[in-house]
């Protein structure tokens, strides 16, 4: 089982073997982005509130095995665990966060909006900076039910959006999802563990194109595949940039 997940982690996921993740396939941005959330330093844990991307008693044996495998691969810096908080603003680098003078106190990051462990989104993401790739270990809890016993398609879309979003942020800084196209291939049983494996395919100007596969732990079952387009926000013209700026 773990051999399959390690293969995924090393860039051997089916269908993408012709373009090794180690090679950067697309052109770089004409002008280098000004990273907003882009540096891994932006995921710093210093002085931060509770980090939810750490093991808790609700994590299954599969989840723990995968976590330990990636934590081991993180020791040499190839992979980096991404901390996760229950408020969006807490994901920002300190220097950016401090610039937010008035931050609403009643908001919750969508994927962290349940307090009890194990009932909603249990996940942890690992970033491979060289490959511009994020693998998310995802264990959907019972409150994510769609068809009886299986994860709701919207919850799958949410975890895919956040995983590819993390990749886009790493590659291009401040971005928003413009398009997310998902093919659902096999249902995901509640309580099972899947790997959401995403990478940046190419960057054209402000457009960041990404792809993603969701597979079970041995890699044999393809649950979903997706492509995404994120747009790097333009400081001069974007309303979103205005809205997100202090
Ligand atoms: C760690 C946490 C991660 C969390 C990740 C979660 C991310 C999210 O869910 S974001 C929320 C969902 N997304 C939104 O609400 C975005 C709503 N849309 C918008 O705000 C805007 O349309 C936005 C920002 C995407 C683009 O607007 P704007 O900055 O004005 O760009 P615009 O000039 O229209 O388009 C730029 C380029 O992208 C292209 N483009 C824009 N949208 C699309 C689209 N949907 N499909 C294809 N191409 C598009 C345009 O054609 C244009 O191309 P070109 O430069 O070749 O002419």
Q: What residue owns the CA closest to ligand 1's atom 44?
A: 178
* Whether the CB of 114 sits within 6 Å of ligand 1: no
Q: Which domain holds residue 147?
A: 2-18+53-244
Residue 96 pLDDT class (50, 70, 90 cuts): confident
Whether this prediction's pTM lies above 0.95 is answered by no
Is ligand 1 within 6 A of the CB of residue 231?
A: yes
Pocket test for ligand 1, best of 36, 84, 178 (most atoms within 8 A of CB): 178
Give pLDDT tens digits for 12-47: 344 333 222 222 222 233 333 433 343 443 344 556
Q: What is the CATH number of the domain that holds 134?
A: 3.10.129.10
User: Among candidates 4, 1, 28, 2, which has minimal Cα distance to 14?
Assistant: 4
Asked if residue 7 belongs to a domain, the reply is yes
The interface pTM score, or ipTM, of the predicted complex is 0.98
Pocket test for ligand 1, best of 88, 89, 172, 176 (most atoms within 8 A of CB): 176
Q: 96 lies in a domain?
A: yes
For residue 36, tell me if it sits in a domain.
no
Residue 178 and residue 172: Cα distance in Å, rounded? 14
- 235 CB under 6 A from ligand 1? no
Residue of 64 and 93 predicted with greater confidence: 64
CA 160 – CA 179 distance, rounded (Å): 12
Residue-wise pLDDT tens digits, 187-205: 999 999 999 999 999 999 9
φ/ψ (deg, to 5) at 123: -160, 160
Task: Please give the tally of structural domains in the chain.
Answer: 1
Does residue 23 belong to any structural domain of this protein?
Answer: no
Answer whether residue 45 is part of any domain: no
CA distance 207 to 246: 24
* In-domain check, residue 225: yes
CB–CB of 129/150 below 8 Å?
no
Token code pair at residue 73: 């691969």
37 located within any domain: no
What are 180's two structure tokens? 């997310």
Q: Looking at the domain assignment, is residue 42 inside a domain?
A: no
């Amino acid at each position: 089982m773990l051999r399959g997940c390690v293969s995924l982690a090393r860039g051997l996921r089916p269908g993408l073997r012709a373009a090794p993740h180690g090679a950067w396939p697309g052109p770089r941005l004409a002008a280098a982005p000004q990273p907003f959330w882009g540096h891994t330093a932006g995921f710093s844990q210093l002085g931060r509130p509770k980090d939810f991307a750490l093991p808790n008693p609700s994590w299954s044996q599969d989840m723990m095995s995968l976590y330990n495998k990636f934590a081991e691969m993180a020791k040499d810096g190839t992979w980096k665990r991404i901390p996760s908080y229950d408020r969006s603003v807490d994901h920002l680098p300190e220097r950016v966060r401090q610039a937010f003078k008035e931050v609403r106190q009643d908001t919750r990051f969508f994927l962290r909006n349940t307090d009890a462990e194990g009932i909603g989104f249990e996940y942890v993401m690992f970033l491979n900076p060289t490959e511009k790739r994020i693998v998310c270990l995802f264990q959907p809890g019972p409150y994510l039910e769609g068809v009886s016993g299986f994860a709701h398609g919207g919850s799958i879309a949410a975890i895919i959006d956040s995983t590819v979003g993390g990749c886009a942020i790493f590659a291009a800084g401040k971005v928003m999802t413009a398009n997310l196209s998902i093919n659902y291939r096999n249902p995901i049983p509640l309580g099972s563990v899947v790997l959401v494996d995403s990478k940046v395919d190419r960057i054209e100007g402000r457009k960041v194109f990404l792809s993603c596969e969701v597979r079970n732990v041995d890699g044999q079952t393809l649950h979903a595949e997706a492509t995404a387009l994120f747009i790097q926000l333009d400081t001069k013209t974007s309303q979103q940039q205005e809205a997100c700026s202090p």
